[in-house]
Amino acid sequence: MFLVKVHSNNKIAQLQMYESQSLLHQLRENGFVVNSPCNGNGTCGKCRVKILSPGVAAASENDIKLLGKAAVDRGYRLACRLFIESDLEISLDDDDLPAKILTEGIQRNVDVNPLVSKSIIKLDKPDLADQNSDLGRLYATVPLEASPDLALMRSLPALLRKAEYNVTLIKDVSMQSADKSRLLGVESGDTTGALYGAAVDIGTTTIASYLLDLGTGKRLFVNSLLNPQKIYGADVISRIKHTMDSAEGLEQLHTQIVNAINASISVMCIQAQISPDNIYALTLVGNTTMLHLLLKVEPRYIASAPFTPAFTSTVRLKAEELGISINPNGLVCVLPSVSAYIGADTAGAVLSTGMHTQADTSLLIDIGTNGEIVLGNRDRLYACSSAAGPAFEGANIRNGMGSIAGAISTVSLKQGLSYTTIGDSRPIGICGTGVVDALAQLLEVGIVDETGRIDTGWEAPNTELAALTERISQADGMNAFIICYKEETPTWREIAITQKDIRELQNAKAAIAAGINVLVREAGISFDDIKTVYLAGGFGSYINIESALKIGLIPSALEGKIQTAGNAAGQGAIEALINSDSLKAAEEISRKIKYIELSASKDFNDYYVECMMFEE
């Protein structure tokens, strides 16, 4: 074993590490968050560390290819390819910068009829003439389903007597049948004034949480954070692979997400000055893989044909069963999914837009590592999932990153080069919206042609754009357009759009656009029949729509029909929380959607090839 000193976030940790495992693996094992979209497969170049020790380890070909010679000469190496051969001192790029995470969505007026309710009752005390059981006494007073759990039966005798038979019943009304509710718990005295709920949208990249007053339906606080599972890969396939490659993988990913949810709930409770025990219901949405990982259910069969999830139906359980830090008797409700790649987040998004109730045909597009697309109206709904890959979220892009402070988010070449960054910070990389903007602008001025090729012989059409010719250069041995020279960035590495980046974006945008075309054909309609296009999710809501149309991510025939829906999935989780009928509507939506498997579609490949080209 060797001693490794790790500098991170202005702290130094001293660790004992083995030579048989990669530095990335051992940093993870010791709780360090190291960005690794490819999950340590040596393809993304994002897990870089700086070697501070003298006698730097020799660079591999992969180090030079992915990090660039300048970074390698300054001591940077890929953590996933570095094995410890001696005592070492390293520095990690700080990865705790504030992220720009979308939490707002379309807010509709929804009647307040929450999943969980409370009622206070006064029971008759037992005597020799009335020897009914404690549990039977409850059922004789209130219409309840006769299915108490063991923990309730164990606690009930002492609780009733201590409360002098004045108690509050906590009831799950989400499965109410024949006017009977399921009893979740019993509390001493009158606690009806404390009834709160939470809704959580578990995204592959981000997590958005909401705290609500279930008595009024009012949203009180919001919390958001990056999904800590990202250290095991940027996309669901990488994370599923981790569960297959490591005996502890499923447990690790499960623990990460449960801890993150608990941390979000804790922050919101502190803000609201309430106890987590006052939260009695939690609704959750996410893609199908995220929900399997949350429940610690084996997801491996989602990743390969015939793409079979373990479950897609609504899941109800008590909070203590999942380790969620709300009232132990609180209801946790996972909304229904549709298929392996159309999850509860999509059902929630359809719910919150109301497209399932409309006579007119709408198109919903949620663009992330997968592009979930739904087309239809109150009569019929079609859906598909198009494997866009993580390019739109910054992964597999040379200088790509999430929406954190310092990420370039907009680019303009109209009068020379200008850009903006998140938080107005110095540029350290470029996020998905910035990449799309940059590509659209390069197409507009002609530096990139309709095939996606960077024209190294481009000539400026006017003096305002003449300086752009100097930015057509090389990066990592590829043709590239330089957005920031290395001296302009604190990382001392130029920020560029390379030819490879453009190909990644072409593949991603072609997959989304082809998926849209397949659904339109399946429905037997034309683009003219689509009245509204909802762009959901963080990327869809922040993207410049003009740029999305320019690169062909959204078919030009839909111009003028597009509106942003924000975090539609999170809003769907909120609606299901505060109105039990909305939960039933989400279940109906999941049954109603006809899922189209694109890998089995004979039209998809043809559309995909057509959509690879950029419109002139």
What CATH number did the domain enclosing 145 receive? Answer: 3.10.20.880
Does 538 lie in the same domain as 496?
Answer: no
Does 329 lie in the same domain as 200?
Answer: yes
Cα separation, 289 vs 572, whole angstroms: 18
Q: Computed over its alpha carbons, how large is the radius of gyration of the chain?
A: 27
30-86 pLDDT per residue, tens: 878 787 777 788 877 788 888 888 766 678 888 887 787 777 888 888 888 888 888
- The CATH number for 6's domain is 3.10.20.30
Chain centroid to Cα 360, Å, comes to: 29
- The CATH number for 605's domain is 3.30.420
376-401 pLDDT per residue, tens: 999 999 999 988 767 787 778 899 88
Cα separation, 233 vs 382, whole angstroms: 30
Which of these three, 77, 92, 107, is where a domain ends? Answer: 92
Which of these three, 129, 163, 188, is where a domain ends? Answer: 188
Q: Given the DSSP bridges, would you call strands 206-213 and 219-226 parallel, antiparallel or unpaired?
A: antiparallel
Q: Given the DSSP bridges, would you call strands 381-386 and 593-595 parallel, antiparallel or unpaired?
A: parallel
Q: Please check the confidence at residue 235 and state whether its pLDDT lies above 90.
A: no
Does 375 lie in the same domain as 410?
Answer: no
CA pseudo-torsion sign 263, 265, 266, 272: positive
526-568 pLDDT per residue, tens: 999 999 999 998 777 788 999 999 999 999 999 999 998 889 9
Cα separation, 108 vs 88, whole angstroms: 56
Q: Is residue 464 part of a domain?
A: yes
What does the block give as tokens for 276?
């987590």
Please, what is the average pLDDT of the chain?
89
Q: Please check the confidence at residue 417 and state whether its pLDDT lies above 80.
A: yes
Does 123 lie in the same domain as 43?
Answer: no
Where in 448-525 does DSSP place strands (E)?
472-475, 478-484, 495-498
**Percent of the chain whose pLDDT exceeds 90:** 57
308-333 pLDDT per residue, tens: 999 999 999 999 999 999 998 899 99
Q: What is the pTM of this model?
A: 0.84
What does the block give as tokens for 352?
């919150």
126-184 pLDDT per residue, tens: 888 888 888 888 888 877 776 667 888 888 899 999 999 999 998 888 776 656 778 88
How many separate domains does the chain show? 5
173-213 pLDDT per residue, tens: 877 665 677 888 889 999 998 999 999 999 988 899 999 99
Q: Is residue 351 part of a domain?
A: no
Does 556 lie in the same domain as 447?
Answer: no
pLDDT (mean) for 411-434: 91
Cα separation, 459 vs 194, whole angstroms: 68
Does 68 lie in the same domain as 41?
Answer: yes
Which of these three, 164, 188, 212, is where a domain ends? Answer: 188
b/e sequence 487-518, b meaning 16+ C-beta within 10 Å: eebebebbbbbbbbbbebbbbbbbbbbbbbbb
Q: Is residue 99 part of a domain?
A: no
Q: For residue 19, how many other CB atoms are within 10 A of its CB? A: 10
Does 513 lie in the same domain as 385?
Answer: yes
Q: Which residues pair with 332 in a beta bridge?
A: 282, 317
Q: Please check the confidence at residue 602 and state whether its pLDDT lies above 70.
A: yes
Does 487 lie in the same domain as 401?
Answer: yes
Closest CA to 413 of 483, 486, 502, 503: 483
Whole-number pLDDT of residue 240: 95
- The CATH number for 294's domain is 3.30.420.480
Cα separation, 341 vs 327, whole angstroms: 32
Whole-number pLDDT of residue 105: 66
Q: Is residue 231 part of a domain?
A: yes
Whole-number pLDDT of residue 30: 83
Greatest mean pLDDT among 148-162, 222-236, 252-266 lies in 252-266
Q: Is residue 471 part of a domain?
A: yes
CA pseudo-torsion sign 234, 502, 99, 276: negative
Q: Is residue 339 part of a domain?
A: no
Q: Is residue 98 part of a domain?
A: no
335 compared with 39, residue with greater pLDDT:
335
Q: Which residues pair with 122 in a beta bridge?
A: 166
Does 73 lie in the same domain as 161?
Answer: no
Does 365 lie in the same domain as 442?
Answer: no
Cα separation, 358 vs 145, whole angstroms: 36
Does 285 lie in the same domain as 160?
Answer: no
Cα separation, 607 vs 611, whole angstroms: 6
CA pseudo-torsion sign 350, 353, 357, 359: negative
pLDDT band at 367 (very low <50, low <70, confident <90, very high): confident
Whole-number pLDDT of residue 56: 64
Instruction: Work out the angle at residue 236's Cα, subtended by the Cα atoms of residues 233 and 241, and round it to the nearest 5 degrees.
Output: 70
Cα separation, 392 vs 371, whole angstroms: 10
Q: Which residue has the tokens 């850009």?
A: 419
What does the block give as tokens for 261?
């949810």
Does 486 lie in the same domain as 424?
Answer: yes
Q: Is residue 204 part of a domain?
A: yes
Whole-number pLDDT of residue 96: 54
Residue ranges making up the domain that contains 28: 2-92
